[in-house]
Amino acid sequence: MSNRMWGGRFASSPNAIMQEINASIDFDKRLYPQDIAGSIAHAKMLAKIDILSNNDKEEIIKGLEAIGKEIEQNTFNFSQELEDIHMNIESSLGEKIGDAAKRLHTARSRNDQVATDFKLYVRDVVDMLIEQIVALQSALLIRAEQNANTIMPGFTHLQSAQPVVLGHHLLAYIEMFDRDKSRLIDARVRMNECPLGSAALAGTSFPIDRDMVAKELGFDRPTANSLDAVSDRDFVLETLGAASICAMHLSRFAEELVIWSSAQFKFIQLSDQFSTGSSIMPQKRNPDAAELIRAKIGRILGAHTALMMVMKGLPLAYSKDMQEDKEVAFDAFDNLSLALAAMEGMVADLKVNEKAMLDAAGSGFSTATDIADWLVREANVAFRDAHHITGEAVALAEKKQVRLDQLKLADLQKIDKRIDERIFSILSVKNSVASRTSYGGTAPNNVLAQVKLWQDKLK
């Protein structure tokens, strides 16, 4: 018995194992909205060039829309024997409208069909991720404005470095996520060319109107080279690359939330909605949502690497290897979307412990740089000399087990006689952050100005 998809070339059906490895319907069925949209656009174009009658076109469109409703209502019977979403829909269409369905595949191939479907899907994903990033930025922005004066330690090497304000710290992530958004927007621009009409690899002899199909599907233009069109998966790779960087940013922030919510830091408290308990330790409050977000980068970056490995050795044009593009991409995009939603939720309802942050900001000699800056500014000391003098002051404070602002003036003047009582005006963490007025600095007024700019930008 010959296979009805492959026509008369094959005398028997595939081995059961071959059918199992070859079929993709279990995962590519989620492409049904894009497949139906592409087929409707193709049918309209075929009718325009008189390959389809208007009656056949209307029957095809009506039948495809009916199939779409069946899939949405979970009443459609997917068949593994029919391999993929394209043949499942085409077979069902034939059962519904008869011979007219057989004309739909004129001037196209599953090669350009799947490239078009997948581009439409990834384009939809990009639009969704951009919306989610903006929602997360908006949640961060609310928190940044609320905490423009909330002083906390700024870290390098996870060691107390200089005091900053929490609003400034949160604005840093808004900047990161905006670059993620920009990368996705750039990827969307590049992917917005329509492969449909490239057929198997060489184009078609039929007088098709590819511009019409591209416009119908919201593409900017048709692809210019049929070989490239059916073998290109750059649009997936580029989006996965942008997704990986975004997931990395989420992971960095998640790690900070894990640290900040620990009993040792107590900077924040995550709500019950994004925390879990322990099966044996009743006191535990685990930041599991943040930890799971932190882990998502592995599978998202893994998807990018996996597809890169699939594509790296493939000659033009289409090879069946490329069927491996979808599962990893679907999983990566689903998980990034979930991580963005979870992070937005955590940011929206976490509680900030301002006292714990302020207390920590004053530890670790975090205003030492302010002494060096004061010596340069007020005593005309070269910075390298000022750095050395300040180091001696830190060593003395460490020996006496006091903060820098608790040192006596006489002790400081033993280190350098140019130090006077004015030094104490710059040693508080409040004055330290207020002094960082350079563009991009942590001064509260700077933070509020940046908040206003972002409020206007995100509208």
Q: Which residues are catalytic?
A: 157, 278
Name the token pair of 406: 């608790």
Does residue 160 sit in helix, strand or coil?
strand
DSSP state of 286: B
User: Quick one: which of 196, 192, 191 has its CA closest to 45?
Assistant: 196
- Taken in order 334, 195, 93, 12, the sign of the CA dihedral is negative
Name the token pair of 56: 């056949």
Cβ–Cβ under 8 Å, residues 98 and 41:
no
* Residue-by-residue DSSP string for 315-353: PSS--GGGGGHHHHHHHHHHHHHHHHHHHHHHHHH-EE-
Q: What is the dihedral of CA 307, 308, 312, 317, to 10 degrees?
A: 50
| Cα 154 to Cα 443: distance, rounded to the nearest angstrom | 13
Q: How far is CA 384 from CA 309, 381, 393, 417, in A?
A: 50, 8, 14, 17
